[in-house]
């Protein structure tokens, strides 16, 4: 589908792998110019060579308080405009609440929440000029609590609230702000989790996958491209009436209203 994004400029954080890479590839297919942000320079350079878009690679650790503003400044220097910010960077530590220390909590918020917040703050004036949009990639763990996902669930909940708050401002200033909650998506991170489950239970990885799908009450895992296509929709005029929306893209995992 042509979402009429040709020639517009998007920043995608956490673009080196997984959902972020899928988002970058789909937006490249829509003709957007891309600012690819992550800590893995080699993977970003490879993506820039193969995705078919005009790209600016920014190797940055968004946990550094100065990094988000530097990324936005580099994007403006290269392209002179900004139409879309996709805050995707950030993974959090699972585990027993009593075993998770302060540094793990701080790290979880530093990248996924504070990195996104600072990117939004730096990008806002430029998005206001283009009547652009922000899309925050949160997660279903922010909607349904889990004992082993206390950090991630808390971060995702905060990001959803932050999305709603910025959307409230965006109504007046012409910036659309929405969020997506991915469910179980086939990424390297999910594959590592399945291997851990398989090892702990003494079963094959395929059996662990079947067990997880069954326990989540879904038919299958999703793909990064399925998240990416929702990003493209939200960034386009087709999604222009979405403001403050938090969309679960999870195969039916989340049954709460």
Q: What is the pLDDT of residues 127-136, one digit of tens each?
A: 999 999 999 9
Q: Are 32 and 10 in contact (CB under 8 A)?
A: yes
Burial of 86 (0-12, 13-18, 19+ CB in 10 A): buried
Query: Which residues neighbour 4 within 8 Å (Cβ) at sequence distance 6 or greater?
Result: 236, 237
Residue range 219-248, pLDDT digits in tens: 999 999 999 999 999 999 999 999 999 999
pLDDT score recorded for residue 151: 97
Domains and CATH numbers, the chain: 9-185+222-246 (3.40.50.720)
Residue range 112-131, pLDDT digits in tens: 999 999 999 999 999 999 99
Q: Are 29 and 52 in contact (CB under 8 A)?
A: yes
Identify the band that residue 26 occupies on the pLDDT scale cut at 50, 70 and 90.
Answer: very high
CA atoms within 13 A on the CB side of 128: 13
- Percent of the chain at pLDDT exceeding 90: 92
Q: Are 15 and 21 in contact (CB under 8 A)?
A: yes
> What average pLDDT does the segment 28-57 reach?
98
Q: How many residues does this entry show for the chain?
A: 257
Identify the band that residue 156 occupies on the pLDDT scale cut at 50, 70 and 90.
Answer: very high
**Residue 56 or 199, more confident:** 56
| Angle of CA points 140, 117, 238, to nearest 5° | 65
């Amino acid at each position: 589908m042509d979402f009429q994004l040709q020639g517009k400029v998007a920043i995608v954080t956490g673009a080196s792998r997984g959902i972020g890479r899928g988002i970058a590839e789909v937006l490249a297919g829509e003709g957007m110019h891309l600012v690819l942000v992550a800590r893995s320079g080699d993977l970003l350079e490879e993506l820039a060579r193969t995705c078919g878009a005009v790209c600016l690679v920014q190797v940055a650790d968004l946990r550094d308080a100065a990094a988000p503003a530097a990324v936005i400044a580099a994007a403006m220097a290269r392209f002179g405009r900004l139409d879309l910010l996709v805050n995707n960077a950030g993974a959090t530590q699972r585990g027993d609440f009593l075993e998770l220390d302060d540094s793990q909590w701080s790290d979880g918020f530093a990248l996924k929440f504070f990195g996104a917040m600072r990117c939004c703050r730096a990008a806002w004036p430029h998005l206001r000029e283009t009547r652009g949009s922000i899309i925050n990639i949160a997660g279903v763990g922010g909607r349904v609590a889990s004992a082993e996902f206390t950090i991630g669930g808390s971060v995702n909940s905060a990001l959803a609230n932050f999305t709603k708050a910025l959307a409230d401002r965006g109504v007046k200033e012409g910036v659309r702000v929405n969020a997506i909650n991915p469910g179980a998506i086939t990424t390297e991170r999910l594959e590592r989790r399945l291997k851990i489950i398989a090892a702990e239970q003494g079963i094959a990885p395929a059996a662990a996958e079947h067990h997880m799908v069954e326990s989540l009450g879904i038919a299958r895992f999703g793909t990064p491209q399925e998240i990416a296509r929702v990003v493209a929709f939200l960034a386009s005029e087709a999604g222009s009436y979405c403001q403050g929306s938090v969309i679960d893209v999870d195969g039916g995992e989340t049954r709460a209203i």
